[in-house]
Amino acid sequence: MPDNVFVYVVCGSAEHIETLHYSLQFIQKYSKCKVVVVTDLSRNQLPIRHHAVIDIPTPAQYNNHQASIYLKTGLHRFLNLEHNYCYIDTDVIANSTKIDQIFQHQYGPVTFAKDYTHQKSNISTFSPWALNCGCLEKGISNQCLHLAQAIGQQYHIQIPPDWVHWNGGVFLFNRHSVEFMQTWHQLTLHTFDLPLWRTRDQGTLIVTVWKFGLQNQKCLPQQFNFIADLNNADLTITRTGTYALHPDLPKIKPHFLHLYSSPLHQKGWNLEKDLQNVVIQRNRQQRRLLNRRYIKQTRIYKTLDYLRLIALELQLKYRRFTGKV
């Protein structure tokens, strides 16, 4: 019978390995499944403190970032696909005893969550982060059409600018995923040589999804990859541990938290102190500001209503005095 296995990939700097160690604490606390780490030991600045480590040599011409992506997109080549796997980024931490239920959500050859970093996430808001188009650096815009245009020109795939792409931080795969994974792997390695493309795997994930016609496939529930980005000013957290990307959206209890903007590698970093309390305090300040604006507007409206009433009374007195109706 196949096992359900969580798998990490890490390669290179002490910062990334310390981030892995932080994440491992939580998954070992909440999961009953096996956990393995895939790495290139020759590149690492620190030893990995875990009992199940798979050492895979990576091409010497790659930097550490490229080597990590090489391993991640090539997991189908390095693992025993008789089992079911859930890949998780090292900056993802388990937040619930329900994390093992993720294996019940395999909907296609691969299963990812949507890349909801904020309320209006889509391929256009991701575009400046995927390409060296200059839109971010020049302060032109925090969204653009360059990624959709580049995919159209290079791969002859037309993607709507408001399509919500998939996030590569958590995904399920198994023996049925080989063709998809191999295509993603090859496309990603090819972009390493393209100056326009940043060293990432998410742009090529978009291409692979559309090549396989999976753009409308069911995705993982947001609970299994909730992106709690401190750069999202609308991020909302409550004292009961529920989260939302915006105050107007339904609040959920995440099973996995994706914390790529938080320094998990720093000694003493704490979820409650350094994320939850920070956001809760920020939410409180935002509510106070909104309340003040509301009160101010209410006072203005009341003043205007009072002035309108006086004006009406003066108008009636004038009509009575002049005899005009």
The candidate with the shortest Cα–Cα distance to 126, out of 229, 225, 272, is 229
* pTM of the entire predicted model: 0.86
pLDDT bucket at 303, cuts 50 / 70 / 90: low
The answer to whether residue 318 is domain-embedded is no
The answer to whether residue 101 is domain-embedded is yes
> Rounded mean pLDDT of the chain?
91
CATH number (domain holding residue 162): 3.90.550
Question: Do 201 and 171 form a contact (C-beta atoms < 8 A)?
Answer: no
The answer to whether residue 86 is domain-embedded is yes
pLDDT, tens digit, 9 for 90 and up, residues 90-122: 999 999 999 999 999 999 999 999 999 999 999
The answer to whether residue 261 is domain-embedded is no
Report which residue type is found at 221: P
Q: What is the pLDDT of residue 318?
A: 64
Q: State the residue range of the domain holding 123.
A: 4-227
- Long-range pairs, 154-161, Cβ under 8 A, ≥24: 155/207, 155/211, 157/207, 157/210, 157/211, 159/123, 159/206, 159/210, 159/215, 160/123, 161/122, 161/123, 161/124
The answer to whether residue 305 is domain-embedded is no
pLDDT bucket at 71, cuts 50 / 70 / 90: very high
The answer to whether residue 12 is domain-embedded is yes
The answer to whether residue 125 is domain-embedded is yes
The answer to whether residue 309 is domain-embedded is no
pLDDT at 307 over 80: no
- Total domains, the chain: 1
